[in-house]
Chains A and B, each alone.
Chain A
């Protein structure tokens, strides 16, 4: 996991005069599980297609193993792709789908070698015995596995996966996540994985690349990304965050709501305006008189493991996750430990995220989502 395998240098891509990728700089290490994460339309697929060779960047370089490969066509690259919608060969059965890459190899492989490797790949995706099936008879999850087996059988150095689990239901998704991770470790190849599901990204990856509007927002381990988001966009996109305007009074002291809080962050200018991130689970509810600040509960949702409560602090609504029930309308105090704060420099995203005034609407959007996704698919 030390050698760098792929590097994108200042890659830029426009479609019809619209900038889709802007100065993408990214290094990918050998045998790494790297995830491109971002909302729909942020350029994840485009980045992947540049690595796969289906698109050429308008400017910038694509380096593979130290060699510039901008002009190398896809069939000559040592990467294989699992496509967003599988793209299986409907005129071929399962065996021939997986054997496709082996059959076009030169020098020719023997029929015996092909059969051996196809069976090996089928075993890897737990679909032994499906050789003769037609691919159109398979379920979504099975088609997905065939797509993975088809790509992996060529023993590429890098596997590109474009939202491979996007079309599966939640339960199957979870299983497949685990399986994919296992496969990656078993065959020991680099995975470049695309998803817009932050949970998926956090659980599977060694490195997460958060993208928005064609730009990389942050690159880091899942823990880094979660605990030390670079800006309000990342903080909001990864997990739940309350993002409050604050001022760094001095190192380790941040001021908000007219109250000085102890924190662990330093290195800001004196009295620099900052964005303060407080994760909903890092907030303790205490009696009013013990609270660092106090607010009024405006909404309570039971979530099984915890309550999600919305608390109004002088017009700015926070989300707090707690196991204690506080009724709507009650006034509560909160206490936040120094390590509960994360301080970010102001960015173009400041003020856009992290307020839970529209929390219930957000829920509506979420519940409407699967339908919207279904329509897109058609």
Chain B
């Protein structure tokens, strides 16, 4: 037997492997991503599910869900604050993105860079910074005191009602407002960036075509630019709403931890005194479902919008 013959099966195998790779080249590139998804997305979700439907020593149970309605106010507050933050981000973010898209390429780069810059600072540090600004003895209150705002407010208050109790600060920290502010501040770039990236991709000739057909500036926005940027709005809304509804750092630092949010509640079940990962998982699961439902409604709304706008 010659050497060549001996290697023939090997060569054949190699050829087979090659042609398999050729045929599945595109798929092959997806494998790392699939593995990644499995490791960091699918498995954690499965774990959460397992925990949610079991209890130590008992096995399968629905008990974790039975008492969950006591937390309804927490769900409500979380959704409400996240909703507020999302709306505010949208109202600030959309015009900002639109304005940025109309500047020169150079200016756009610089502005976007400046938007991202704070993100390089640790999230906690940024939120702590807001704390020291908003505190009762914080920078803002001290500034107001220095320029005599409280004296003015007190004198007005006294003239209006005899039982006025004089104030020496505005209560800003530990309020829902501070939490929303923290969310808006932290997540606003996630609204601006996707909207901006969609708007700059709109073909300028399509806008010219609309003008050409008789649409004024406002109409062009309403009938062309906005509908075409809707996908950016949807991803912006998602990227602000989801972290807002699950945050615990912001509410803890700026909300004072008294009015709990979902994130705090869940964190407590895993790391806090109330250690109960099964309950934590159940709450997480419900939150996940709520978020998914919200987002799919949002997406449906978005699809409808495209035709609704023209009607």
Contacts and interface: CB of A to CB of B under 8 A. Distances in A.
A228 B310 CA distance: 53
B310 A92 contact: yes
Nearest to B224: A89
Nearest to B231: A91
Interface in B224-269: 224, 227-228, 230
B296 interface: no
A74 B224 contact: no
A83 B219 CA distance: 20
Residue among A96, A100, A150 having the largest count of chain B Cβ atoms under 10 Å: A100
Given A83-B208, A91-B306, A92-B310, A104 B213 contact: yes
Interface string B204-235: 01101111111110010001100110100000
A81 B219 contact: no
Interface in A69-126: 73-76, 79-81, 83-85, 87-92, 96, 100-101, 103-105
Contacts of B215: 75, 100, 104
B214 A87 contact: no
Interface residues of A, number: 27
B224 A105 contact: no
Contacts of B205: 83-85, 87
A160 to B, nearest CB: 9
Given A89-B206, A90-B228, A96 B310 contact: yes
Contacts of A83: 205, 208-209
Q: Tell which of B203, B205, B209, B210 has the most Cβ of chain A within 10 Å.
A: B209
B227 A75 contact: no
Contacts of B228: 90-91
Q: Is the interface of B mostly helix, strand, loop or mixed?
A: helix
Contacts of B206: 87-90
A36 B217 CA distance: 30
B310 A103 contact: yes
A106 to B, nearest CB: 9
A46 to B, nearest CB: 14
Nearest to B212: A81
A103 to B, nearest CB: 7
A36 to B, nearest CB: 18
B300 to A, nearest CB: 16
Contacts of A73: 211
A80 B210 CA distance: 10
A87 B210 CA distance: 9
Nearest to A49: B208
A74 B212 contact: yes
Contacts of B227: 91
Contact of B203 (A75, A81, A87, A104): A87
A269 to B, nearest CB: 50
Nearest to A106: B214
A357 B219 CA distance: 58
Nearest to B220: A75
A154 interface: yes
Nearest to B219: A104
A174 B264 CA distance: 70
Contacts of A79: 212
Nearest to A98: B213
B232 to A, nearest CB: 13
Contacts of A54: 208, 211-212
Interface in B181-215: 203, 205-206, 208-215
Interface string A25-52: 0000000000000000000000000001
B205, B228, B307 — which one has the most chain A CB atoms within 10 A of its CB? B205
B223 to A, nearest CB: 7
A100 B205 CA distance: 15
A52 B310 contact: no
Please give me the 9 A-B residue pairs with the lowest Cβ-Cβ distance, nearest first: A101-B213, A87-B205, A87-B209, A74-B211, A104-B215, A91-B227, A81-B212, A87-B206, A75-B211
24 contacts: A73-B211, A74-B208, A75-B211, A75-B213, A75-B216, A79-B212, A80-B212, A81-B212, A83-B209, A85-B203, A87-B203, A87-B205, A87-B206, A87-B208, A88-B206, A89-B210, A89-B224, A91-B224, A91-B306, A92-B306, A96-B310, A103-B223, A103-B310, A104-B216
